Amino acid sequence: MLVDALEQAYALPELLAVLGLARSSYFYHCARLLVADKYSVARSVIANIFELKHHCYGYRRTRAALGRQQVFISEKVVRRLMRQDGLAAATTRRRRYGSYRGEIGPAPENLINRDFRATAPNRKWLTDITEFQIPAGKVYMSPVIDCFAGLVVSSTIGTRPDAELVNIMLDAAISTMANSEERLVVHSDRGAHYRWPGWLSRMRDARLIRSMSRKGCSPDNAACECFFGRLKTELFYPRDWRATTIEQFIEVVDSYIRWYNAKRINVSLAPSARSNTERVSELQHKPVQKFSRTPGGSVLHRR
């Protein structure tokens, strides 16, 4: 079309050279434009069917309707012709699955408000649940993260994300608290685990302050999400877990959390480049917490 438009002003060889178009290709397509559309009848029938069927037929039903009128062409051709003529049937928009069914109780305010800095241990705790899917099955982990140095205060690992998982975690975290006049804030998402009577009674008895993220807003708990990302990047994703049992996987995660707390260097604690536990121990003079197994064997927690 460009060559035909400029052919009166410029020589044909010059136009073809500038456009990088071969002479044979140019004359081939010129000849094609002169050939009648062999699907002209089919296009007319397809347009008529599409109009009579209230714009509801896609290419499959349109092809079936063409067959009833003794017009036999392939599905691919029908789909191409309908696309070229702008004949598209209305379709429903696919919605992403959402498990939200409304609030099950009043939610506290977002007291953390994305400020994950703390001047001392046991001022701000974060918690959430993450899932590990290995060939042997699904494993769930629920930690408590201290905002002061990123220390994993307590952690539970189990095969079901139930109330026991978070309750044991909270009991273990509360047992590490020192007497302090300042009340501690525990921040979580809006999950049902943090609204059940068992959780609420534990929070009330320990005089802990509840804080929750906004609905569907994971950045409100970004520091805890970053811990999950670091854990999975360093431990979970690089390894092949096909020959690993659930018990073996729990032991590996247990070992990683011990190393993370006691040995892993936290560059945010510069200039000394200390580990999380070393930084906290300077202020609390507490020994490193150890994991112990529950009688059921499927959950690990701190005492």
Pair 47, 135 in one domain? no
Residue 213 lies in a domain: yes
Mean pLDDT of 221-230: 94
Residue where a domain stops, chosen among 34, 61, 84: 84
Residue 231 lies in a domain: yes
pLDDT at 275 (0 to 100)? 58
pTM confidence score: 0.62
Residue where a domain stops, chosen among 84, 99, 115: 84
Strand partners, 142: 156
| SS3 state at 29 | helix
Pair 52, 131 in one domain? no
Residue where a domain stops, chosen among 84, 116, 145: 84
* 157-177 pLDDT tens trace: 999 999 999 999 999 999 988
Range of the domain at 235: 124-302
Pair 70, 191 in one domain? no
| SS3 state at 78 | helix
Element (DSSP H or E) covering residue 138: strand 137-146
Ranges 25-34, 150-159, 277-286, most confident: 150-159
Q: State how far the alpha carbon of 72 is from the alpha carbons of 67, 78, 85, 300, in Å.
A: 6, 10, 19, 67
Contact 80, 59 (CB under 8 A): no
pLDDT at 277 (0 to 100)? 59
| SS3 state at 293 | strand
Pairing label, strands 209-212, 185-188: parallel
Rounded to 5 degrees, φ, ψ at 132 are: -115, 125
Pair 18, 72 in one domain? yes
Pair of tokens at residue 19: 């456009």
Pair 132, 189 in one domain? yes
**Cα–Cα distance, 266 to 274 (Å, whole number):** 6
Pair 185, 283 in one domain? yes
Pair 167, 261 in one domain? yes
Q: How many domains does the chain have?
A: 2
Pair 20, 158 in one domain? no
pLDDT at 137 (0 to 100)? 95
Residue 252 lies in a domain: yes
